[in-house]
Amino acid sequence: MQAPERPSSARLVLPHAGDPDSQRRTPEWKWQLARAVRSARELGEHLALSDAERAGAERAEREGFPLAITPYYLSLVDGSDPRCPIRRQVVPHVAERETTRGDLVDPLGEVAHEVAPDLVQRYPDRALVLATDRCAVYCRFCTRSRMVGGGSGTRSVEHLSAAFEWLAGHPEVRDVIVSGGDPLTLATDRLVAVIERLRQIESIETIRLATRVPVVLPHRITAELLSALAPFHPLWVMTHFNHPKELTPLARAGLERLANAGFPVMNQSVLLRGVNDDAAVLAELFRGLTRCRARPYYLLQADPAKGTGHLRTPIGAGIAIMEQLWGRLSGIALPKLVVDTPGGFGKVPIGPDYVIERRPGVTRFRTPRGVEVEYFDPAAE
């Protein structure tokens, strides 16, 4: 099948396209959500789809993990190149129907670790609240593709009451992550209601918002949202930039607004084949994030979610990349490379091994400069 002619940029659904009167009545972020591309037909109007992409998009309409791309994020996609790193993250591919060794429907064992409806505890001191199943964009490597976009929608405060009661009865949980889906796609009053209820539990010290909205819908980071959430600090934002192309002026401005409003921002990048499995690409991303006061926190080995084998890298690829970056990138710009172990048993750090030899009282290291040095333990008292 011959690929259709590459659409011109004028035909892309860009921000501020459409009805000007609608723009005046509707906040930009809601306008973007309402006009997200959700079908193979719509996608083909804006991108020259390959056969594999078209088949993947048609499958996404019929079954399994749905398709959604905001006009803003679609405007970052190269319309004619299936190898575009933005495109690979969000355009369905026929390979999603394939299962590879190690694939799991629930790779992090969240169902097994659910302690109350939509409340997951995998670590002694923290828990995860699933506040919605909706996202602005459905990333094709999603670890929760089993439930995200499934139609249940927003979880009301009443629905989450059992989760709040469980947290109140378990004061060892000091840190709560609000995730989903993406909690920043909620209406502000609904999000505030969840955060306010969590803040009523005295043992909860920190709350984290796990969101990709700063990447795919930066228009949502409004003064209205920030002022509504500010009374509930400390609130941390855990975002999800994977490629320097995502650090647009709009995205950078959103990160700056978060930082200026007192929200510490931590970024968790997923290592993805053909997207960011390159040391130079990641160095550019991590430096760019640091300039925006967003701390590169984790570089995550992609979870073995069913149908994502075509996007995952071997473990050795991440280790080799970290070896190229270590010692050549500022420590504040260097994340930890981690694997979130299958089954929900927690994250483990991995990386280059700089220890050459250990013997009583002496450890021999290979430094990032290639020099071997010895470190001597202090004498026993």
Q: How many angstroms separate the most distant Cα atoms in the chain?
A: 79
Would you say 307 and 96 are in contact if contact means Cβ atoms under 8 Å apart? Answer: yes
Q: Which of 88, 134, 303, 306 is catalytic?
A: 303
Burial per residue of 58-81, b for 16 or more beta-carbon CB atoms within 10 angstroms, e otherwise: bbbeeeebbbbbbbbbbbbbebbe
Dihedral sign for Cα 239, 243, 244, 250, please. Answer: negative
Q: Which of 144, 212, 252, 306 is catalytic?
A: 144
Return the CA Rg of the chain: 22
Catalytic residue check, 84:
no
The DSSP result for 50-68, as a single string, is: -HHHHHHHHHHHHSSS---
Catalytic residue check, 340:
yes
- Residue 154's SS3 state is coil
Q: Which of 73, 135, 297, 298 is catalytic?
A: 135
Q: Which of 72, 142, 182, 220 is catalytic?
A: 142
Catalytic residue check, 336:
no
Q: Which of 38, 78, 81, 123 is catalytic?
A: 123
Q: Which of 38, 146, 287, 347 is catalytic?
A: 347
Catalytic residue check, 142:
yes
**Burial of residue 380, with CB atoms counted within 10 A of its CB: 0-12 exposed, 13-18 middle, 19 or more buried:** exposed
Catalytic residue check, 377:
no
C-alpha dist (Å) from residue 374 to 323, 325, 369: 20, 23, 14
| Rounded CA separation 138/152 (Å) | 15
Q: Which of 35, 122, 220, 312 is catalytic?
A: 122
Catalytic residue check, 135:
yes
Q: Which of 30, 38, 97, 126 is catalytic?
A: 126
Catalytic residue check, 144:
yes
Q: Which of 35, 139, 212, 220 is catalytic?
A: 139
- Residue 220's SS3 state is helix
Task: List active site positions.
Answer: 122-123, 126, 135, 139, 142, 144, 303, 340, 347
